[in-house]
């Protein structure tokens, strides 16, 4: 059995699930964060270096971690809507504990996992814009001059992107393993995207660019939960090949 883990409304993940099934990966299930949070039974045991996982969803899907072939992990957060009647401080506590629990069992799965969780993100580390700039330059990508003041830091924490010029169109390339899809890039730039994913310790990464008036592709951001649809059917083929390769190596 294969799993895609994501938010119930993740159109990109739902699209990939349908496409992978159509391509012949029949034993693949889409399991949402909401289904995981409301599982009727969940068991995760740690014994030294050994780990076990079993859970059953409300719909009756039973999963045993030892029998999984692989997982595409796009979990972003753990929903706690079923705790909405509790005080906010209790909701915050439950969310932190559930996030730690999810991080533990997904990270410990013995099968291949595309984008294992980290303490900074359930589907890979979510970095500040400034952190991505450092990694992108280390990978060899062109980045517009970047400076940051304490005021800019506050804006960044609010989610404001300083690298994208006003009115600029952002185009996204998606790294799947060692392949780059969704955006025609020069070989050197594509290779730098792969290096960026390696530096970020993720297998699946969206890399955003804008093209300046001189025709230079400037890096403006990245995230471990890209819209897979930008890669079309070619991305599905790459993901299918990659899952098969990862399964054999696990």
Query: Within this chain, do residues 36 and 108 fall inside the same structural domain, yes or no?
Result: yes
Handedness of CA 81, 86, 99, 38 (dihedral sign): negative
Compute the average pLDDT of residues 58-78.
Answer: 93
Query: Within this chain, do residues 105 and 34 fall inside the same structural domain, yes or no?
Result: yes
**HSE of 114 in the Cβ direction (CA atoms, 13 Å)?**
32
pLDDT on residue 168: 82
pLDDT on residue 213: 77
Query: Within this chain, do residues 165 and 77 fall inside the same structural domain, yes or no?
Result: no
For 113-149, write each residue's pLDDT tens digit: 999 999 999 999 999 888 999 999 999 999 977 877 7
pLDDT on residue 25: 82
What are the tokens at 102?
């999810």
Query: Within this chain, do residues 181 and 150 fall inside the same structural domain, yes or no?
Result: yes
β-sheet bridge partners, residue 43: 54
Closest CA to 172 of 128, 217, 138: 217
pLDDT on residue 160: 56
Closest CA to 161 of 218, 202, 78: 218
Q: Indicate the SS3 state at residue 118.
A: strand
Instruction: Give the CATH number for residue 214.
Output: 3.30.470.20
pLDDT level of residue 151 (50, 70, 90 thresholds): low
pLDDT on residue 47: 84
Q: What are phi and psi of 208, to 5 degrees?
A: -100, 140
* In a domain? residue 14: yes
Query: Within this chain, do residues 44 and 100 fall inside the same structural domain, yes or no?
Result: yes
Higher pLDDT, 148 or 194: 194
Q: Indicate the SS3 state at residue 188.
A: helix
Rounded (10°) CA dihedral 8, 14, 16, 22: 140
Q: How many domains does the chain have?
A: 2
Compute the average pLDDT of residues 238-244.
Answer: 89
Domain with 194 in it: 129-223
The span from the CA of 43 to the CA of 101, in Å, is: 11
* In a domain? residue 62: yes
pLDDT on residue 111: 92
Rounded (10°) CA dihedral 51, 197, 28, 234: -160
Closest CA to 239 of 177, 196, 191: 177
Least confident of 9-23, 85-99, 196-210: 85-99
* In a domain? residue 84: yes
Query: Within this chain, do residues 203 and 144 fall inside the same structural domain, yes or no?
Result: yes
8 A C-beta contact, residue 53 and residue 67: no
What percentage of the chain's residues is helix, strand, coil (to nearest 5)? 40, 25, 35
Higher pLDDT, 157 or 168: 168
pLDDT level of residue 183 (50, 70, 90 thresholds): very high
- The model's pTM: 0.88
Closest CA to 61 of 42, 82, 83: 42
For 199-233, write each residue's pLDDT tens digit: 999 999 999 999 887 878 899 999 999 999 999 99
Query: Within this chain, do residues 108 and 159 fall inside the same structural domain, yes or no?
Result: no
Query: Within this chain, do residues 148 and 54 fall inside the same structural domain, yes or no?
Result: no
DSSP codes joined into one string, 132-161: HHHHHHHHT--B------HHHHHHHHTT--
pLDDT level of residue 153 (50, 70, 90 thresholds): low
* In a domain? residue 160: yes
8 A C-beta contact, residue 95 and residue 26: no
β-sheet bridge partners, residue 217: 211
């Amino acid at each position: 059995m294969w799993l895609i883990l994501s938010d119930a409304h993740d159109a990109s993940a739902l699209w990939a699930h349908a496409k992978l099934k159509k391509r012949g990966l029949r034993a693949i299930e889409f399991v949402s964060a909401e289904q995981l949070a409301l599982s009727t039974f969940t068991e995760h045991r740690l014994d030294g270096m050994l780990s076990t996982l079993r859970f059953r969803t409300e719909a009756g899907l039973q999963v045993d971690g030892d029998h999984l072939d692989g997982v595409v992990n796009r979990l972003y957060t753990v929903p706690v809507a079923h705790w909405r009647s509790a005080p906010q401080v209790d909701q915050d506590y439950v969310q932190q504990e559930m996030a730690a629990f999810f991080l533990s069992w997904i990270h410990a799965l013995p099968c291949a996992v595309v984008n294992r969780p980290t303490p900074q993100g359930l589907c890979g580390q979510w970095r500040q814009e400034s952190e991505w700039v450092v990694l992108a330059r280390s990978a060899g990508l062109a980045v517009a001059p970047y400076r940051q003041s304490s005021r800019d830091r506050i804006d960044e924490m609010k989610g404001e992107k300083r690298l994208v010029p006003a009115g600029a169109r952002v185009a996204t390339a998606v790294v799947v393993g060692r392949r780059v899809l969704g955006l025609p890039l020069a070989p050197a730039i594509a290779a730098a995207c792969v290096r960026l994913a390696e530096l970020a310790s993720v297998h699946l990464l969206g890399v955003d660019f804008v093209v300046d008036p001189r025709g230079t592709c400037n890096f403006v951001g990245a995230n471990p939960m890209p819209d897979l649809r930008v890669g079309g059917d070619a991305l599905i083929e790459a993901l299918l090949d990659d899952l098969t390769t990862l399964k054999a190596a696990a």
